[in-house]
Amino acid sequence: MNNFRILEIKQSVFEDNDNQANVLRERLKEDKTFLLNLMSSPGSGKTTTLTKTINTLKNEMRIGVMEADIDSDVDAHTISKTGVKVIQLHTGGMCHLDADMTKQGLEALGTEDIDFAILENVGNLVCPAEFDTGASKNAMVLSVPEGDDKPLKYPLMFSIVDVLLINKIDVLEHFDFDLEVCKERVKKLNPNVEIIPISARTGEGIDKFADWIREEVRKWNQV
């Protein structure tokens, strides 16, 4: 018989985080604030996508953005040019946001005058997928240059998202990226995911993403 205890740290951490996330989601529901957790790898065009989407919706919704990064504040400066409320979250070396960090960010941002809040998570396809932030829905940006095999390499990320934006379709002809094969791979992992091909540079597909947001915000606010 062992004379020491074995403590399953990872399980304990995830369980505690999930409980906090559920509490946060309930609070957001009561406040009628829809929170979208936006994830991707670095360089996918996440911030450009966000900028185009904000400019499409900012005259009909009160929008607030939390920009998460390990250290820099470049993205917050970019988003601030849209005129919406924005704060920068520094994770202190952490490669993800959890429910408690998100809660702190929302308290600093203030949700009393926000209908649609966005958390731009740290650029990473591993850690952010493991932690429930308390968001109403999860979104992901996958760019064409990253390859259509990403769902095979990072299945957890693709299995937890509610909407997948396949960005940079304006350069499809220059890359070995099969759009239909990518969709099939994602659907095998996540049959209910909404997949929207976009080009953040040209604006193609942004209106469809904006329509998805409008509908999700409407459903979130239903009693």
Please give the mean pLDDT across all residues of the chain: 92
User: Tokens at residue 133, please?
Assistant: 């932030």
pLDDT, residue 70, reads 65
pTM equals 0.92
Q: How confident is the model at residue 1 (pLDDT cuts 50, 70, 90)?
A: low
Is residue 10 within 8 Å of residue 130, measured between CB atoms?
no
The pLDDT tens digits for 29-65 are 999 999 999 999 999 999 999 999 999 999 999 999 9
- The Cβ of residue 88 has, within 10 Å, a number of other Cβ atoms equal to 20
In a domain, 90, yes or no: yes
Residue 159 clears pLDDT 70, i.e. is over it: yes
Residue corresponding to tokens 């929207």? 196
The pLDDT tens digits for 80-137 are 999 999 999 887 767 778 999 999 999 999 998 999 999 999 889 999 999 999 999 9
Nearby residues of 9 by Cβ (< 8 Å), 6 or more positions away: none
Is residue 38 within 8 Å of residue 119, measured between CB atoms?
yes
CATH number at residue 104: 3.40.50.300
Task: Tell me how many domains the chain contains.
Answer: 1
In a domain, 60, yes or no: yes
In a domain, 94, yes or no: yes
126-151 burial, b at 16+ Cβ within 10 Å, e below that, comes to ebbbebbbbbbbbbbbbbbebbbebb
User: Tokens at residue 208, please?
Assistant: 């469809």
In a domain, 1, yes or no: no
In a domain, 49, yes or no: yes
Domain containing 62: what range?
10-220
Is residue 133 within 8 Å of residue 98, measured between CB atoms?
yes
In a domain, 165, yes or no: yes
In a domain, 3, yes or no: no
In a domain, 68, yes or no: yes
